[in-house]
Amino acid sequence: MAQEVKVPTLGESVTEATIGEWLKQPGDAVAQDEPIASLETDKVAVEVPSPVAGVLQEHSVAVGDTVEVGAVIALVEAGAAPAAKGDEAGKASEAKDDSKAKGAGDAQAKESASAPSSSATLSSDANQTLSPAVRRAVLEHGLDPSTISGTGKDGRLTKEDVLEAAKNKKSGGTVEDAAPQQAKTADTGTSGGERREERVKMTRMRQTIAKRLKSAQDNAALLTTFNDCDMSAVIEAREKYKDLFAKKHDIKLGFMGFFAKASCLALKDIPAANAYIEGDEIVYHDYVDISVAVSAPGGLVVPVIRDADQKGFAKIEKDIADFGKRAKDGTLTMQDMQGGTFTISNGGVFGSLMSTPIINPPQSAVLGLHRIEDRAVVVDGEIVIRPMMYIALSYDHRLIDGREAVTALKIIKEAIEDPTRMLIDL
């Protein structure tokens, strides 16, 4: 008997989604609760599981279609489906990798002699299992997806996997990371001198990001104040206690924990930076929920560290590490990103020296972190070298005055330069 596969409840106020990709094709065996489709919502990707074990009979909608909660998207014929199909595929993939590792030299010679074009690099099966973003990245870099190990859920390829393979290829990596030379030539069009364009529909998440950022510019009076801070004390503390911290808490001691706690001090003294405007009222919070900007395959997401002001360094670092892993795997939920009273965005991990971060509506302030670099500074009348970081606070000037914004950023700077302040609440 055929069972209907319906769009599940997606979260508060979310009523529709877009079919991002089909993880299973008609005729494929599926186990109960095995994901068969990925939906793109305004904030996250949501996987749709099969309600029963059986065989996927048909797709009722196509990739790119918009579907509402409760809509039927597929039919599964219930029956004794071989639930181990995924396991067998995984074993086959492992065997394939082992075979490649043993005969890398032969494979390299063989590939260079019979490399396919970039359009042929993606077989019809590969096209069915790769997300649009991954497919674009594979074509752009002229890679063979079957030679790249996936780190996503159930071993699926992520965009980061493709970019890492492309990076290894440029630095002279193994045959598994390298693209066929003919594919590269066909993709760039160097042989014929032709120039190409590609039109790709924006994902629902990217459209939402664009709308929210533009809305922030249109509706808020944005302004940014800057400062710089000497990272010597934090670096020294991390170096001194990193081993003990990791041994006790099973997590690395990072910089974000220090900035989260320093921000809590600032928000306690400057409550307007932890508030937002709703109509003609200001909504203040007696708690601090910090949204942390995290890079995900589909775009930037901002999961929330709840009650950051009540948590210690270890719990904050564990929350951040968990968010980073789940963002890469695509398993963040709507609940993870709802709320948030203040945001921290770390562009330094990508090498940014200075930026003007944009607020995350309806919040009124965002702290921007940047890369640490040794600079010459004057200390007690002498020129010395110190590890310095520029920090920025963008804020809604309708709610936060310049004096308050500058003061909040100064509190953060002082707490980072003298972490003892965070212990004695100064």
Active-site choice (374, 401, 418, 425): 401
Q: Is 401 a catalytic residue?
A: yes
The residue assigned the tokens 């793109």 is 40
Q: Please, is 100 exposed, middle or buried when counting C-beta atoms within 10 Å of its C-beta (0-12, 13-18, 19+)?
A: middle
Q: What are phi and psi of 148, to 5 degrees?
A: -110, 130
Residue among 5, 81, 415, 389 at smallest CA distance from 227: 389
- CB-CB contact of 107 with 54 (8 Å): no
Number of C-beta neighbours around residue 219 at 10 A = 13
Number of C-beta neighbours around residue 95 at 10 A = 10
> Alpha-carbon distance 286 to 325, whole Å?
30
Q: What Å distances lie between residue 316 and 235, 257, 330, 333, CA to CA? A: 18, 6, 21, 18
Longest dimension (CA), the chain: 83
> Alpha-carbon distance 342 to 100, whole Å?
49
Inter-residue long-range contacts of 29-33, CB under 8 Å, 24+ positions, other chains counted = 29/54, 29/55, 29/56, 29/81, 29/82, 29/83, 29/85, 30/54, 30/55, 30/56, 30/76, 30/81, 31/81, 31/83, 31/85, 31/86, 32/83
> Alpha-carbon distance 335 to 3, whole Å?
29
Q: Is 397 a catalytic residue?
A: yes
> Alpha-carbon distance 266 to 376, whole Å?
28
Which positions are annotated as active-site residues?
397, 401
